[in-house]
Amino acid sequence: MTFGKYTSKSFKWLVENDVGYCKYIVDRHMKEMRHPEKRKTINETQGWHKSWEAEDSGLPKQDIKWLKEDEERGLFLKPRPFSDMYGRKRWRKVLKSEKMWFHPPEMPGVVDGSTVPVADSFFRHRVFFWRPVGVWRYSVRCTKPDCPAKDNPKAFLYRCGYGNTVRPICDINGWYFMLTEVLACDACRHLTLYYSLIFPHLNYCNIVWASTHPTYINKLLIIQKRFLRMISHANRYEPSAPLFINYSLLSINKINIFKTCLFMFKFKNYIQNLPSSFHNFFCVNSNIHSYATTKYFNLPFCRTWKHQSFITYRGPHLWNSLNKSLKSSPSLPIFKKHLKNFLIISSL
Ligand SMILES: [Zn+2]
């Protein structure tokens, strides 16, 4: 075989291993012989969205044809050949990269009788393709206030496809339609990857299992740090603490502290929302003795390390060690926000 996905394999090998592929090649060859005019069809129009052709929210019907097919006025350059992943020669159209305004072909002038113009040519619109990076090569920075790359002077947005929304704009001369390119931030996209691939595994029921012995937790912590170095393009010897602060993330140990403190806050302020089995889980100091103390919860006596890792001990211990301002937060969302900010910068 000199082409396709089984290049360099013998015909005998192909018959023995993938007869279906043989049948596909023969069928395709026969189809091409039957319809030779279809052999050089345009397989791709790079960047064109199907949603731009939607009847209710897309471009007007009379504008679609000239935008896709007119080589002088439309969005695309002349078709170019390329090889796909199977080594097959295909044809595609690439977007023009030197202009953003596209004006429709002029209306027909003299009609000689042989070609009667269609009414569509009188109702076409201008199209503005807003591409500040694709055409102007402009350096745009991420606008998110919590972007991890906000302090990096070399971090700019890059092109990430084109928006599927067509916006009709009313200008002083009439209507035109606007298409836009989509810009993406490398650091923010990597953070999304972390929250979709890694964080759910560390977060799920963390309060139940993550207070176990550090021997077991450290293995997960190493993986978390490795992923963080991967998404921040740091080398393997770079310290992870600044990366956690830069990305505003909590390590697996801090996630456990966060969850435990959250549970204690709910126990103290919203005990009616917890299941009844938790109502006598912790003992309050004011129920045991009458003298004033800064420690709200009573610490049970624990002799072994294993017992100290139970939430009945860890919960009161962590709560008693929190700042007074944190403990007196007026609501759960405010407590969560302040506690997370405190844990991110603290060196626990
Ligand atoms: Zn960003």
Residue 322 predicted with pLDDT over 80: yes
CA 128–ligand 1 middle distance (angstroms): 26
Ligand 1 centre distance from Cα of residue 313 (Å): 40
Residues with CB under 5 A from ligand 1 (ion): 142, 144, 147, 185, 187-188
pTM: 0.66
Q: What average pLDDT does range 328-336 have in this prediction?
A: 94
Q: How far is the CA of 189 from the centre of ligand 1 (A)?
A: 8
Q: What percentage of the chain exceeds 70 in pLDDT?
A: 94
Q: What is the pLDDT of residue 115?
A: 67
pLDDT tens, residue by residue, 22-32 = 888 888 778 77
Low-confidence winner among 15-19, 111-115, 315-319, 342-346 (lowest mean pLDDT):
111-115
Starting at the earlier edge strand, list the strands of the sheet with 89-93.
42-45, 89-93, 80-83
Res 336: pLDDT: 95
pLDDT score, position 25: 82
Confidence of residue 41 (pLDDT cuts 50, 70, 90): low
The 10s digit of each residue's pLDDT in 59-112 is 999 999 999 988 899 999 988 888 877 877 888 889 998 999 999 988 877 776
Indicate the average pLDDT of the chain.
88
Q: pLDDT tens, 109-129?
A: 777 666 666 788 888 999 999
Beta-bridge partner residues of 158: 184
Provide the percentage of residues in the chain whose pLDDT is more than 90: 49
Of 261 and 300, the one with more pLDDT? 261
Ligand 1 centre to CA of 187 (Å) is 5
d(CA 47, CA 45): 6
pLDDT digits (tens, 9 = 90+) for 183-208: 999 999 999 999 999 999 999 999 99
